[in-house]
Amino acid sequence: MLIGKAPDFRCSEITPKRLYLNRRAFLGGLPLALAGARRALAETRLTTVKSGLTTTGEKLNTLQQVSTYNNFYEFGIDKDMPAVNARNFRTSPWVVSVEGDCARPRKFSIEEILALAPLEERVYRHRCVEAWSIVVPWIGYSLSKLLAQVQPTSKARYVAFETYFDRRQMPHAEGLDFPYVEGLRLDEAMHPLALLCVGMFGETLPPQDGAPVRMVLPWKYGFKSIKSIVKIKLQGGMPRTSWNSQNAHEYGFYSNVNPNVDHPRWSQKTERRLGEFFKRQTLMFNGYGDQVAGLYSGMDLRANF
Ligand code: MTE
């Protein structure tokens, strides 16, 4: 079992972006800085270490692109809606319950999650089932470090995730049954690439990108990367997932990126990187096959899509 390293990060090390932007606006008296301060109310800088698991050599998407073109159905079904509708989403205080088949179930405050292990900056490709993709410098650490804290028992074969849901804060939620739920097999969840993500572009996550804590699973279609998590449950049976419940014919449990298996309504062979005109070839397991293919050896990936 992996044991989390001693934290090298303290909350006191981070300056709320609101404060330094306000300071800048006050000193310079610039209307532009004031506008910026209003726009980015919640994000704070994070101290990170470099990661050995970074995907190198590809141009990053911009924060602007990644925070204005989102799927987050709790805040509306169109991709420009979450940036607007999630603006006042309250992400503090925040508690994540890690429970189920484990020896030490417990609740973690977001501050405890931030301090549990060194925060790594990991650049990952992220491929949406709708055939667009992005490259993002995410911040977090392997989910395995959090799971090790609760000591999964031998009964635990899967991990179920659940997103926060409050209709008063999410009046525009539509298109799915809420709360949003997702799941992984335990060995997938323990894979080092499975990132428990608390930030991007050097800062905490904007609400529309899943603040304050989400998953990023770079070898799977984007919808597996559940946002704004409040519950993680270890269990024996395969968890229900939102998209599979909505349309089992189109969305399977595994949802590994696979250019050889078409979505019933469109091809998965190519994708468009946000901001680019020409399409590019989609890679098996989104290009992470050398690291994750072993998880699925012997499985029929057409049947287990
Ligand atoms: N998580 C929740 N709670 N609700 C959602 O609607 N959408 C998923 C996933 N996580 C979604 C979610 C889908 S379809 C995608 S493609 C990714 O989030 C998008 O992540 P991004 O907005 O950071 O690009």
pLDDT per residue as tens digits for the range 240-285: 999 999 999 999 999 999 999 999 999 999 999 999 999 999 999 9
Look up the pTM and report it.
Answer: 0.88
How is residue 15 annotated by DSSP? P
Cis amide leading into 16 (omega within 30): no
Better pLDDT: 243 or 14: 243
Residue 172 and residue 77: Cα distance in Å, rounded? Answer: 8
Whether 178 has a pLDDT exceeding 60, the answer reads: yes
- Please give the Cα distance from 92 to 172 (Å, whole number): 21
Q: How far is the CA of 28 from the centre of ligand 1 (A)?
A: 38
User: Biggest alpha carbon distance in the chain?
Assistant: 64
Whether 148 shows a pLDDT value over 50: the answer reads yes
Distances (CA, A) of 182 to 125, 215, 223: 20, 10, 8
- What is the Å distance from ligand 1's center to 206 Cα? 13
Q: Which fold has domain 14-296?
A: Sulfite Oxidase; Chain A, domain 2 (3.90.420)
Task: Indicate the helix (H) or strand (E) that contains 244.
Answer: helix 242-246
Q: What is the sign, positive or negative, of the torsion defined by CA atoms of 165, 171, 172, 175? A: positive
| Single-letter code of the amino acid located at 159 | V
pLDDT in tens, 206-248: 999 999 999 999 999 999 999 999 999 999 999 999 999 999 9
Ligand 1, CB within 6 Å, residue ranges: 70-74, 128, 163, 180, 209-210, 222-223, 225-228
Which residue's C-alpha comes closest to atom 14 of ligand 1?
223
What percent of the chain stands above pLDDT 70?
86
Query: Cα of 22 to ligand 1 centre, how many Å?
Result: 31
Give the pLDDT confidence score for residue 41 in this predicted structure.
55
CB 305 within 8 A of CB 252: yes
pLDDT at 29 over 90: no
Average model confidence (pLDDT) across the chain: 90
Which phi and psi (to 5°) does residue 85 adopt?
-75, -20
Classify strands 229-235 and 95-100 as parallel, antiparallel or unpaired. Answer: parallel
- The identity of residue 58, as a single letter, is E
Angle at 231 between CA 227 and CA 234, to 5 degrees: 115
pLDDT of residue 150: 98
Dihedral (Cα; 102, 285, 80, 198), 10-degree rounding: 40
Is residue 123 within 8 Å of 137, Cβ to Cβ? Answer: yes
For residue 28, pLDDT beyond 80? no
- Of 198, 204, 207, 245, give the one whose Cα is nearest residue 75: 207
**Nearest CA among 246, 263, 247 for reference residue 131:** 263
